[in-house]
Amino acid sequence: MPDTDFTPDDLGADDAMTIGIRVVEMADRVKAMHTMLPGAQASWAFEMDGTRFGVVVTVVSDDSN
């Protein structure tokens, strides 16, 4: 694993909100797709401080429990 000096404090509130909203939107879309195509995924990548991150969202369980 690469050594990095990144800490959660380096992430601005606007950036954190943008990332969180994007992940929630991905989850909402995957949930709808999962009903027609189980195993569907949504993926997105973003860069922060020169490091590229990949985010993949899948439905783990569709139980209402």
Given a contact cutoff of 8 angstroms between Cβ atoms, the answer to whether 60 and 32 are in contact is no
**53 strand-pairing partners:** 46
Eight-state DSSP code of residue 11: S
Question: Residues 3-57: pLDDT tens digits?
Answer: 566 666 777 888 889 889 999 999 999 999 998 999 999 999 988 888 899 999 9
Extended strands (E) in the chain: 41-48, 51-58
Per the CB < 8 A criterion, the answer to whether 42 and 56 are in contact is yes
CB 21 within 8 A of CB 44: no
pTM of the model: 0.71
